[in-house]
A and B are shown apart, each in its own frame.
Chain A
Amino acid sequence: MLFRLYPSSGLPLYLQLMEQVKHAIETGALKAGDQLPTIRKVAEDLVMNPNTVVRAYRELQHEGVVELKHGSGAFVSESVAGRTRVIRKAQTVVQAALERLADLGLTEDEMRRVFDNEVAQLRAEKSAGRQE
């Protein structure tokens, strides 16, 4: 099975499943046009609630990552190909930044915390911008 979830991590399972599908697309494990496993198969393989799988697939459709075809299942959208190229570019940017952080002597945990904090900062600025 392609996906692995951590029910006790506190992260909502539908978000975890969405992240896993996106990750599979970014790494090329799933390609544009590929069919996602059926709701029932995901539910039984991962031993998770089928309604939660439905919710994840619906949200992915809402974000344009997958297309739901009535009666035949969920497919990776053709439009993700462009997104995959952007992600590849982002990977080289992050790699360069990580090399510089390593030169500064940061540990992996420190790098992760700095990154997470900056992402949180960006999110706070964005939401403050919306309120003005």
Chain B
Amino acid sequence: MSDPIIEARGLHKSFKAQTALNGLNLEVPAGSIFGFLGRNGAGKTTTIKLLIGLLKPDRGDARVFGLPCGDSSASVEIRSRVGFVTEDKELYPYMTVEQIIRFTRAFFPKWRPDLEQKYLKLFDLPPKRKIPDLSKGMRSKLMLLLGISHGAELLILDEPTDGLDPVAVEEMLRELVALSASGGTTIFFSSHQLEEVEQIADHVCIIDRGAAILAGPLDDLKVQYQRLRVVFGEELHTPVHWVDGADRVRQEGRTVEILASRNVEAILEQARSLPGASVERFPVSLKELFLEHVRSN
């Protein structure tokens, strides 16, 4: 396994009395499409700002390409190698689409005019229109165009599909997948749209109250977590002591629902050994994983 392209250890950040990050750990493998998930206010945007050096952590260490994000000169290098799109859509209000592209291009030696032209057409952006007159979706697309045309080896996107309609979302996801497939660009994107993360991410991290509460390769998490439903022949009078790994157990009458994170086979065996029990197992979607973990945090 190669070194992670983004790595954070024990990140803390507070704004006055408000704790934004509370010991966040993060590891993003090179070449992945990484979904960074969390509710509004969970700490996603703060993390992204720390990674690209727009904020400094109170404690902890964050590195991008192995470079320390908290160091001013290193963060200049990081920003020159990363294409980023932030939630903050306050672009230069007096510029037109054409002007902001020309302005941004001047800063980046690896600028890709071919990608710029492709996305200008694909996203159907009006070159002469002033930025405040664009719709929310158009502004998102413009930011993405700027991020992609950068020619960057790493894209950091804060809620890239925010404000886009379903057709535009699908187009954007397709473009991200194409970028990943053609050049191995690493894509780190934050979102609270679980369906889109589930569609294109191979790694995920769920952040809640400023810390990572679940992280790993998405397909492995789906293999690991299973929901079991046990129906008993008659009502249980004493609670069952389930084997280790039966994380959450909910009982209603003769039915017990279990979310298992480990020892699934052992739990199944235990269930089958109980009198009159029939057992079914179900896969767990990212949405269920998210809700279970965030609610119990």
Residues of A that sit less than 8 Å from B by CB: 7-15, 39-40, 43-44, 47-52, 55, 113, 116-117, 120, 124, 127-128
Contact = CB atoms under 8 A, between A and B. Distances in A.
A38 B90 CA distance: 40
Contacts of A40: 178, 181-182
B101 interface: no
B219 A43 contact: no
Contacts of A39: 181
Interface in B20-74: 31-33
B200 A47 contact: yes
Classify chain B: how many residues form its interface, as a range. Answer: 35 or more
B254 interface: no
A47 B269 CA distance: 38
Contact of B222 (A11, A124, A128): A11
Interface centre among B173, B201, B202, B278 (most CB of A within 10 A): B202
B286 interface: yes
A43 to B, nearest CB: 5
Nearest to A56: B219
B181 A50 contact: yes
A8 B198 contact: yes
Interface centre among B180, B219, B282 (most CB of A within 10 A): B219
Nearest to B223: A12
B279 interface: yes
B287 A8 contact: yes
A12 B220 CA distance: 8
B202 A49 contact: yes
B283 A9 contact: yes
A50 B173 CA distance: 12
B144 to A, nearest CB: 16
B270 to A, nearest CB: 11
Contacts of A14: 219
Contact of A124 (B170, B220, B268, B285): B268
B234 interface: no
B283 A10 contact: yes
